[in-house]
């Protein structure tokens, strides 16, 4: 795949993910003209679970009593998950891409799939590797 200038930015930001999230191991990835595929391994151990969830809800609401808010996020820390990794990647690409294309923007969501076994890993890996070969017939190739 021959990358555009924005594609090069996306590739550079993808490769930098472990610099910002040291618990991430990158596997195959491919930057396409209008999307990115990648395999991310989240290799956390107990020492990575020490980040506290930001409690914005209690900062916005005035407590009715003098006691501090006891609100806890039932999903645990939200700063070290797949969504935060992808959000950081998209922010990095967007900031730099807008120097080239001021109206650059991503779709608001992303598609994820949990790799549950070795067969699934190799199927997805091959899909990523072969994606450029199939670009000419891709419905999003406009």
Question: Does residue 96 belong to any structural domain of this protein?
Answer: yes
At 59 the pLDDT is: 41
Question: Does residue 56 belong to any structural domain of this protein?
Answer: no
**DSSP assignment letter at 101:** -
**Rounded Cα–Cα distance for residues 53 and 51 (Å):** 7
Question: Does residue 69 belong to any structural domain of this protein?
Answer: no
The proportion of the chain whose per-residue pLDDT surpasses 90, expressed as a percent, equals 54
Question: Does residue 127 belong to any structural domain of this protein?
Answer: yes
Q: What is the pLDDT of residues 45-59, one digit of tens each?
A: 755 444 433 333 434
Domain span at residue 15 reads 5-45+77-137
Task: Find the CATH number of the domain harbouring 128.
Answer: 3.30.70.1290
40 phi, psi to nearest 5 deg: -120, 130
What is the pLDDT confidence band of residue 15, given thresholds at 50, 70 and 90? very high
Question: Does residue 89 belong to any structural domain of this protein?
Answer: yes
Question: Does residue 117 belong to any structural domain of this protein?
Answer: yes
At 45 the pLDDT is: 74
Distance of CA 69 to the CA centre of its chain: 31
Under 8 Å between Cβ of 13 and 101: no
State yes or no: pLDDT of 109 exceeds 70: yes
Question: What is the count of structural domains for the chain?
Answer: 1
At 138 the pLDDT is: 74
State yes or no: pLDDT of 75 exceeds 90: no
Question: Does residue 122 belong to any structural domain of this protein?
Answer: yes
In this prediction the pTM is 0.74
Question: Does residue 11 belong to any structural domain of this protein?
Answer: yes
The winner for highest mean pLDDT among 6-10, 48-52, 63-67 is 6-10
State yes or no: pLDDT of 82 exceeds 70: yes
């Amino acid at each position: 795949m021959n990358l555009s200038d924005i594609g090069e930015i996306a590739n550079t930001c993808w490769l930098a993910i472990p610099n910002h999230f040291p618990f991430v191991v990158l596997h195959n990835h491919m930057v396409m003209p209008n999307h990115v595929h990648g395999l991310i391994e989240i290799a956390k151990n107990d020492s990575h679970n020490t980040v506290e969830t930001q409690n914005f809800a209690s900062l916005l609401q005035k407590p009715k009593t003098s006691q501090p808010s006891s609100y806890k996020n039932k999903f645990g820390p939200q700063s070290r998950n797949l969504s935060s990794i992808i959000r950081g990647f998209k922010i990095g690409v967007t900031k730099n891409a807008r120097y080239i294309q001021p109206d650059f923007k991503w779709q608001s969501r992303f598609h994820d799939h949990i790799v549950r076994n070795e067969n699934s890993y190799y199927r997805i890996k091959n899909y990523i590797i072969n994606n450029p070969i199939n670009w000419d017939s891709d419905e999003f190739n406009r």
